[in-house]
Structure 1
Amino acid sequence: MNHFSATAISALLLCAGSVSANTACDGSGPLTIISATDDGMFDDVSHSPASLLDGSTDPDSRWSNESQGSPKEILFDLGAQQTLKSFSAAWYKGDSRKSNFKIEASLDGKTFQTIVADRTSSGTTLELETYEFDAVKAQYIKFIGNGNESNNWNSMTEVVATGCGVAVEKPKEIAVAERKGAGMFGLHLDKPPGENFDLQSWYLSVPTDEDGDGKSDNVFENELAAGWTHPKYFYTDPATGGMVFHVSAAGAKTSKNTSYTRSELRGMLRRGDYNIETRIEGGYPNKNNWVFSSAPKSAQAASAGVDGKMTATMSVNQVTRLGKAYQVGRVVIGQIHAKNDEPIRLYYRKLPTNKFGSIYFAHDPEVGKETWVDVIGKRANKIANPADGIALDEVFSYEIEVKGKQEGDVIIPMLHLKIIRDDGTEVVADPFDMRDSGFNVEDEFMFFKAGAYSGNNSSPTPETDFDKVTFFKLEATHSPAPEATADMKAVAEKSAKAAAVPAKAAVAGVIVDDSFADGGRDNGADALDTAWWATTTSGAIEVAKGHVGLVSGGSGRGIRATFDPQTLAEGQTIKADFTFTTPETMGTNRDSALRVGIYDKLGRADLEGDLSASSKKPNLNYNGLPGYMIDFDVNLKDPTKANINIRKHKDATTGRLLGTTKGYTELGAGGNGYQFVPGETYTGSIAVQKLAAGIKVTGSLSQDGTVLSEFSKTDEKGDANNFGMLAFHVNSKTFGSSKKKDTPDNGIDIKNLKVEILP
């Protein structure tokens, strides 16, 4: 081992900074190092791996990274395969303590060989110490530090690799890993969950109801990954950096059929590509979801992945303490959800009188009865404290995995669960056979869920009696889906061609002028006629000579008009005017009761036909269509407060077009007050203009050429500019109350629709 004086060190470092490599390879010179990366847990910004290559042995310019139960590694990249002959290191406090280390080398960065076995520094010098070994071909050098004789810190001020080989240009800046945060597992305390975790493959359900539709709100992938948080239900823990999920029984639920509230992630393998549906009606797999390897090959080919494994590190911080005995203290912390049921719901449960909690799971098959499996402790409502249980705030991990097991010519889907305690001990559940659970079929798909899904809706103090969990790591992986066969590809190509209706560059002029002179709802002989379709139910539409009827009655109804898609240039406006007559009977005090929307069809061929949809039977063809809605208040108690509202369609999975405002973001409301009179004729309009930056939307209501109300709002971030569909919706008992057709008080009659492009 050689020691270099300060003068020699300076000369060697200068040489390392100016010489790329000894290309003759008959001697030994300093080799260029183009990057130095560790795990990002280095002590301070000034103590990163880059400090080892800055030409300075100043103690304040050092790399410091503390071993925490395992050694710390730095990977050096020489930029090319070289002949490596020695490695030198100057140790921080190297004259007063010995440090433990070893060194490995690799040609490909994957397979390494030891070149300096477990060793300690001399403890006698601050100068570079050189460690020689038999010459070896390598591009990567892995330095592995394991603390020093005083503590667990690994600290050096400078390193030099020597040898010979090819010339490598020294980069202006050394590439290093991003420094991780000061929280647990390197999480940042000051960043939202979307910056601490990869949430591009998840959307979030939280128990809020900001749009007032009676259902919980969803936040989709791109918004979530961009940093969305909620101060109560989803945020970064300021002490640990963990991703916190909070849920109480007082919150909104995802649907009327759901008994419990949740603050929970849902797997989205499309990773923010909103052209891919969340799910396909009927339960068929698509590129957003995964299937078992026991599913038919055609289903596997249609999916985004096969089988899957979710790994999470977390703690349960709070569970409910009050309510019905069978509900108290239980919360679902992870799931595999299928079309209708759950291959696994993983529960944590702690009874108020116990110090520790239990872990168990439910298997809810598509066919057959639900099965419960205890893993740690017991599921029962009255149990003694489980001695091997998990305490609140204890950090543990779980692994949920589905793997296929070959049994003769058949693949059996097997469910695996492992719990890993903080001390490394493992509790492994017996593999669960799912061959008879009904999931091995064409019309089935899977997705992971993680977070806090409450199991208690009976607490007498739901605001203060809640569940709270914190995640420190979360990852889901899948095997790739197989390639589709030639027959499958042919079907897909045929479907794609049918759906691909390219948008035309918009040209100023009228594109639709339909007065229903032929008494039909199809695109008739008149070139300016258009096609009309039902949006909610086939009973929503009736057509006669001179008008198309939008039937209202006892439930909300909707209809659509479709036309060739138009692409707006900057400054152009697409405007739709519609003349309609109100019925003889009308509802009162109905806000947002007459709705009009204009949308991009996204090439979905199914939109050229009647598509029923309701809250109980959503239709996915209506999800995520870029567009805008205006809506009119109908006969409020105070007519001066009647507004025109402007809303933007968002990436929600409501499966309804205009039947709910849940899938919209309100941009603004205003205009003069107005009131509808029975048996009168009005003209409404919606106009969408493409600006240099954003989209301007205008809604208006007129009668006999006089504007009653008008309101405009600019969506500054709007970028939708392809439009090919106009839709109408009337809330129940707003215009008319009879459910029978051809009755005078039944809905509104649209007498003319004109769509035009304004320059």
Structure 2
Amino acid sequence: MKNLRIDIVSIILIALLSVNTACQAQKSNVSDSDVKVEKKKKKKKKKKVRLPDIDLSHWKVTLPVTNEKGKPYEIEPPEIIDFASNEIAKPYMYIDSTRGAIVFHAMPTASKTKNTKYTRSELREQIVPGDNNANWTFKQGANMKGKLSMEQTTKGSDGKYHRTIIMQIHGRLTNEQRDLIGEDDNNAPPMLKIYWDNGKVRVKTKVLKNLNATDEEILHEDAWGDDDGFNFEQKVDFKKFTLEVQVSDGKMVIILNGNEYKVYESIHMKRWGVFENYFKAGNYFQSRDEGSFSKVRYYELEVSH
């Protein structure tokens, strides 16, 4: 009888130990699972920081705000390299680190550059940092390529999105040309304007009004008119896209997403060779509507000569 009691006690102890071990194992498994889930949550919370692939050492920027002299506020190299810490620039040119882009934000303000009613948050190429007098000709050749997207833009009363100029080739008079025609500045017409226009990419160029005009006569801004414009077939909307401008003697090629081309090769391009030029890129907003604005993202931008 005594041995029987000992056996029963042993059985009960073994059973209790088995239940306890199973409970501990279950707790251990649940704990491991919880830890894994928690780790995944933490990983999701940590967003990857991305920086835009843009070297600003050969660009200055014009912003839609005035300086102490009442003129558009500009930042030139080398200060532009540290634009992200510039308190004046922050609302109009800033880094989107989640997408790896520089955002150019423009809206109607009192800050307008000469000969325009619109404002801009736009880069201006400077071959020699800090110097506007070093530029290039079509004969010398040039190339600009960017990856960008429209982040946000308002609509007009017609229900269409407000448009903005995202790239330009701007002409410039040399000091000698300026003095020859009696101008008070070096400004010349823009040979190329590329618009984000209601979700499409639209190109506008200049054409010579009188093909028999002399080399001196074509230096005047009123010697040039606008062409009818060209719309690329692809609709980019608010998606990321690439845009490239290739310039050579008497020729200009615009390429959208590497597979759609517009080629300009004519007497107008050939005679434009009299001017110096520089690239522009960013957001030259084309509306004066109250409350209107647009934001353009640039992920990549490179220039070569």
TM-score by length of 2: 0.68
**Does structure 1 residue 362 correspond to structure 2 residue 216?**
no
**Does structure 1 residue 335 correspond to structure 2 residue 168?**
yes
**Does structure 1 residue 428 correspond to structure 2 residue 261?**
yes
Cα–Cα, structure 1 residues 400 and 372, in superposed 2: closer, same or farther, change >3 Å?
farther
Cα–Cα, structure 1 residues 197 and 368, in superposed 2: closer, same or farther, change >3 Å?
closer
1:664 maps to none
The structure 2 residue matched to 1:248, chosen from 107, 110, 131, is 107
Task: Give how far 1:318 is off.
Answer: 1.6
- The question of whether the paired residues in 1 share the 8 Å contact of 2:147 and 2:301 is answered with yes
- The question of whether the paired residues in 2 share the 8 Å contact of 1:320 and 1:456 is answered with no
Cα–Cα, structure 1 residues 368 and 258, in superposed 2: closer, same or farther, change >3 Å?
closer
SS of corresponding position for 1:318: strand
- The question of whether the paired residues in 1 share the 8 Å contact of 2:143 and 2:246 is answered with yes
**Does structure 1 residue 400 correspond to structure 2 residue 265?**
no
Alignment of 1:658-677 (within 5 A): none
- The question of whether the paired residues in 1 share the 8 Å contact of 2:204 and 2:230 is answered with no
Task: Give how far 1:460 is off.
Answer: 2.7
The structure 2 residue matched to 1:470, chosen from 269, 272, 297, is 297
1:447 maps to 278
Alignment of 1:54-65 (within 5 A): none
One-letter code aligned to 1:309: N
One-letter code aligned to 1:207: P
2:137 maps to 291
SS of corresponding position for 2:66: coil
> Unpaired segments of 5 or more residues in structure 2?
1-46, 173-187, 208-220
> Alignment length, in residue pairs?
226
Q: Partners of 1:321 and 1:218 in 2: how far apart?
A: 28
Q: Partners of 2:55 and 2:107 in 1: how far apart?
A: 26
**Does structure 1 residue 346 correspond to structure 2 residue 194?**
yes
- The question of whether the paired residues in 2 share the 8 Å contact of 1:319 and 1:331 is answered with no
1:214 maps to 70
SS of corresponding position for 1:252: coil
Task: Give how far 1:343 is off.
Answer: 1.5
**Does structure 1 residue 391 correspond to structure 2 residue 247?**
no
Q: Partners of 1:321 and 1:477 in 2: how far apart?
A: 36
- The question of whether the paired residues in 2 share the 8 Å contact of 1:217 and 1:254 is answered with no
1:417 maps to 254
Q: Partners of 1:327 and 1:254 in 2: how far apart?
A: 26
Cα–Cα, structure 1 residues 265 and 326, in superposed 2: closer, same or farther, change >3 Å?
farther
Task: Give how far 1:329 is off.
Answer: 1.7
Q: Partners of 1:209 and 1:307 in 2: how far apart?
A: 34
- The question of whether the paired residues in 1 share the 8 Å contact of 2:170 and 2:189 is answered with yes
2:26 maps to none
Cα RMSD, aligned residues only: 2.3
**1:670-706 CA-partner distances (Å, limit 9, x unpaired):** xxxxxxxxxxxxxxxxxxxxxxxxxxxxxxxxxxxxx
Task: Give how far 1:238 is off.
Answer: 3.2
One-letter code aligned to 2:230: D
Task: Give how far 1:278 is off.
Answer: 1.4
Q: Partners of 1:434 and 1:218 in 2: how far apart?
A: 36
SS of corresponding position for 2:78: helix
1:375 maps to 231
Cα–Cα, structure 1 residues 476 and 375, in superposed 2: closer, same or farther, change >3 Å?
same
Task: Give how far 1:434 is off.
Answer: 4.5
2:127 maps to 269
- The question of whether the paired residues in 1 share the 8 Å contact of 2:48 and 2:98 is answered with no
Cα–Cα, structure 1 residues 237 and 329, in superposed 2: closer, same or farther, change >3 Å?
same
Q: Partners of 2:242 and 2:120 in 1: how far apart?
A: 21
Q: Partners of 1:390 and 1:214 in 2: how far apart?
A: 37
Q: Partners of 2:277 and 2:166 in 1: how far apart?
A: 17
Task: Give how far 1:253 is off.
Answer: 1.0
TM-score by length of 1: 0.28
Task: Give how far 1:369 is off.
Answer: 2.0
Q: Partners of 2:191 and 2:153 in 1: how far apart?
A: 24
Cα–Cα, structure 1 residues 434 and 206, in superposed 2: closer, same or farther, change >3 Å?
farther
- The question of whether the paired residues in 1 share the 8 Å contact of 2:65 and 2:72 is answered with yes
Task: Give how far 1:327 is off.
Answer: 8.8
Cα–Cα, structure 1 residues 440 and 210, in superposed 2: closer, same or farther, change >3 Å?
closer
The structure 2 residue matched to 1:309, chosen from 143, 167, 172, is 143
Alignment of 1:500-519 (within 5 A): none
Cα–Cα, structure 1 residues 218 and 227, in superposed 2: closer, same or farther, change >3 Å?
closer
1:170 maps to none
1:609 maps to none
**Does structure 1 residue 198 correspond to structure 2 residue 198?**
no
Task: Give how far 1:358 is off.
Answer: 1.2
Q: Partners of 1:369 and 1:331 in 2: how far apart?
A: 20
The structure 1 residue matched to 2:91, chosen from 216, 224, 232, is 232
Alignment of 1:88-99 (within 5 A): none
1:485 maps to none
SS of corresponding position for 1:224: helix
**Does structure 1 residue 321 correspond to structure 2 residue 155?**
yes
- The question of whether the paired residues in 2 share the 8 Å contact of 1:308 and 1:401 is answered with yes
**1:135-180 CA-partner distances (Å, limit 9, x unpaired):** xxxxxxxxxxxxxxxxxxxxxxxxxxxxxxxxxxxxxxxxxxxxxx
Q: Partners of 2:245 and 2:255 in 1: how far apart?
A: 7
> Unpaired segments of 5 or more residues in structure 1?
1-180, 280-287, 294-305, 351-356, 378-387, 405-412, 479-759
Alignment of 1:636-651 (within 5 A): none
Q: Which fold has the larger relative contact order, with Cα–Cα distance below 8 Å and residues 6 or more apart in sequence?
A: 2
Task: Give how far 1:317 is off.
Answer: 1.0
- The question of whether the paired residues in 2 share the 8 Å contact of 1:361 and 1:372 is answered with no
Which protein is bigger by CA-based radius of gyration?
1
Alignment of 1:665-704 (within 5 A): none
1:744 maps to none
Task: Give how far 1:328 is off.
Answer: 5.1
- The question of whether the paired residues in 2 share the 8 Å contact of 1:203 and 1:266 is answered with yes
1:666 maps to none
**1:551-585 CA-partner distances (Å, limit 9, x unpaired):** xxxxxxxxxxxxxxxxxxxxxxxxxxxxxxxxxxx
Q: Partners of 1:403 and 1:344 in 2: how far apart?
A: 14
Q: Which runs of at least 4 in structure 1 moved beyond 6 Å after TM superposition?
A: none
Cα–Cα, structure 1 residues 453 and 326, in superposed 2: closer, same or farther, change >3 Å?
farther
Q: Partners of 1:319 and 1:263 in 2: how far apart?
A: 14
Alignment of 1:33-48 (within 5 A): none
- The question of whether the paired residues in 1 share the 8 Å contact of 2:169 and 2:191 is answered with yes
One-letter code aligned to 2:255: K
The structure 1 residue matched to 2:132, chosen from 257, 278, 283, is 278
- The question of whether the paired residues in 2 share the 8 Å contact of 1:360 and 1:372 is answered with no
